[in-house]
Structure 1
């Protein structure tokens, strides 16, 4: 009898725990989906002038429109997307109304890394962003070859002598020849809670199956002894 009680506690307890984790991930999925919808609406909102006081958290994804000029300087960030293939993001200083900020102009194919684009006047419509692309596994930039492996806003601002503010261009008017924009999108924000929920529910089903199998074996042994 003790073995059956232990099996029931182990089986039902494990199933309950795994189901609870699955339901928690479903709740997280609903929360994340609502958050992404809010962010998407903010990204597509009417652009405003570049604020004087900018907060990296409160103003993340803020749509802005600025008139100014690129300088002809660039930092090249290695990137590969299904849309553009392998290439480099162009991060350039942008001078506007006495300020100097960073602009992610877009991407060029690997073969068009050099020569650098000349400076030009343009209107940038895009979104403020501070990409979270750096961690202990990302290599340091190869500055002598002008190859960067992540958009580190603070480090790039220091290298180019700008404010630590990055505008990711959605459109350029007039455009920079040969450059394809990679605007901010919620597609860049992970939402894996559905996969996590399916995993936990699958484990609960497997746990239930294993519990039934163990109970069947225990019953078979009891029958054989009888």
Structure 2
């Protein structure tokens, strides 16, 4: 009886072990063949939604690469335009809209008694601010001044235009302090064509009565001086002793796209790693 009873218990134990190991084997085998559907279920809707963040930041970084190329091409184009050979002032002044940043040659006489002052402005050297990256420099205050815009009576036609003669320091704003720079008689001038400028944000309105101009409103300047709304910015070739410093055409545009590229790509890499650790690495 004892032997029979032990045989029955052993048989029952053997059956239970077989069932257990069968389940374990099936589970291990099944875990090796996870379907895409089961992966999706484990990542969940929130995981797929958060994947938008690294994808979007990567796309923004790529867009900034394209913007950087476009800005560099534009700066190079402006330099090429300003350095081109000067052309004569067209008879039809409406053609000047297609000639912005092109040098134009004119001949005539300055009307110094009607000059205007645009500013305050920073001195520009070689197409860029002389105080760039010098926020704490002691020369920053010295480089603050005004642009002298003077009506110019053309010699070959009965018309008057505006010439931005250049920059003078604040202490020389009064023409009496720079008498030698007040060129008299008929002269030749080469200047860069500039068009109407809309009032920038946060910039106050121009004050005609005080001859204080904050932005390049050609229509308003022409009305005050009796000239046409045409402006040329004189090059450095015609600088005179004690006179304004020419070449005040800014041809360097703000280009911070490299920092934007690094920012967006770094965010994309960081969020991609976090997404992988949070969701993909847990999928078994």
1:168-187 matched pairs, under 5 angstroms: 168-171=233-236, 173=238, 175=240, 177-187=242-252
Q: Structure 1 residues 14 and 69, CA, compared in 2 at 3 Å: closer, same or farther?
A: same
> Which residue pairs with 2:72 in the alignment?
33
- Is 1:100 aligned to 2:160, yes or no? yes
> Which residue pairs with 1:6 in the alignment?
45
TM-score (norm 2): 0.67
1:82-97 matched pairs, under 5 angstroms: 82-83=129-130, 85-96=143-154, 97=156
Matches of 2:47 and 2:96, distance apart in 1: 52
Q: Which secondary structure does the structure 2 equivalent of 1:203 belong to?
A: helix
Matches of 1:196 and 1:157, distance apart in 2: 41
Measured against aligned partners, the alpha-carbon deviations of 1:181-223 in whole angstroms (never above 9, x if no partner) come to 1332421x3333333323322332342244356449x96xxxx
Contact 1:93 1:162 in 2 (8 A): yes
Matches of 2:233 and 2:248, distance apart in 1: 6
Measured against aligned partners, the alpha-carbon deviations of 1:48-92 in whole angstroms (never above 9, x if no partner) come to 111122345421111111111110121111112453611010011
Figure out how many residues of one structure are paired with residues of the other and give that number.
218
> Which residue pairs with 2:170 in the alignment?
110
TM-score (norm 1): 0.82
> Which residue pairs with 1:74 in the alignment?
115
Structure 1 unaligned blocks of 5 or more: 220-226
Matches of 2:268 and 2:105, distance apart in 1: 51
* Per-residue deviation, 1:3: 6.1
RMSD (CA atoms): 2.8
- Is 1:202 aligned to 2:256, yes or no? no
Please identify runs of 4+ aligned residues in structure 1 that moved more than 4 A.
116-119, 212-216
Matches of 1:126 and 1:101, distance apart in 2: 12
> Which residue pairs with 2:29 in the alignment?
none
Contact 2:161 2:227 in 1 (8 A): yes
Q: Which secondary structure does the structure 1 equivalent of 2:212 belong to?
A: coil
Contact 1:108 1:178 in 2 (8 A): yes
Contact 1:7 1:215 in 2 (8 A): no
